[in-house]
C-alpha cells in the first residue's frame, strides 16, 4: 500500500542531543513537509521541499535541519539548538510540481526530551 511512514512512533532523548526523525513515502510525490504540533497551536510548518535537493524554511525552522537527497525520503534533525523540542512531529507529502492537491500525512513521531 502507498503511504507515508514515520519512524519511530515514540522517541526519547536527553537534553543537548541531536535526534533525527525519519519520513519515507512511496507515493511518488515531489513535495514533502514537516510540521510540529503542540496543544492549542495547530500545525506549524518547520521545513518543506518541492523537489529533490531543494528545501525551504517554514515558519519555525530555527533549531531544525533537513535534507532531501532522495525523492522518497525527507529526514528531520532536531538539534540541541531547539529550545523546546518536546512535541508531536508530522511529516506530509503532496503531488507538488504545480499541481494542487491534498497533503497526505504520516502517523507522527512523539518526541520527548528529558
Does the protein bind another protein through residue 40 (CB under 8 A)?
Answer: yes
Does the protein bind another protein through residue 55 (CB under 8 A)?
Answer: no
83: Cβ–Cβ under 8 A, 6 or more apart, which residues?
63
Contact call for residues 21 and 33 (beta carbons, < 8 A): no
CB of 107 to another protein, least distance (A): 5
- Smallest CA-to-CA distance from 85 within 32, 20, 33, 9 is with 20
> Of these, 19, 23, 32, 35, which contacts another protein (CB under 8 A)?
35
Does the protein bind another protein through residue 45 (CB under 8 A)?
Answer: yes
> Of these, 27, 43, 52, 60, which contacts another protein (CB under 8 A)?
43
Quick one: 43 exposed, middle or buried, by C-beta within 10 A (0-12, 13-18, 19+)?
A: middle
Quick one: 47 exposed, middle or buried, by C-beta within 10 A (0-12, 13-18, 19+)?
A: buried
CB of 18 to another protein, least distance (A): 24
Does the protein bind another protein through residue 48 (CB under 8 A)?
Answer: yes
Does the protein bind another protein through residue 92 (CB under 8 A)?
Answer: yes
Does the protein bind another protein through residue 18 (CB under 8 A)?
Answer: no
- Grid cell listed for 84: 523546546
Does the protein bind another protein through residue 105 (CB under 8 A)?
Answer: yes
Amino acid at each position: 500500500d502507498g503511504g507515508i511512514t514515520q519512524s519511530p512512533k515514540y522517541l526519547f532523548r536527553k537534553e543537548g542531543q541531536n535526534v533525527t526523525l525519519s519520513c519515507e513515502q512511496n507515493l511518488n510525490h515531489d513535495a514533502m513537509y514537516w510540521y510540529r504540533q503542540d496543544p492549542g497551536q495547530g500545525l506549524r510548518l518547520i521545513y518543506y521541499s518541492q523537489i529533490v535537493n531543494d528545501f525551504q524554511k517554514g515558519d519555525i525552522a530555527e533549531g531544525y535541519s533537513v535534507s532531501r537527497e532522495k525523492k522518497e525520503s525527507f529526514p528531520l534533525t532536531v538539534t540541541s539548538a531547539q529550545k523546546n523540542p518536546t512535541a508531536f512531529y508530522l511529516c506530509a507529502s503532496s503531488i507538488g510540481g504545480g499541481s494542487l492537491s491534498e497533503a497526505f500525512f504520516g502517523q507522527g513521531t512523539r518526541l520527548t526530551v528529558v
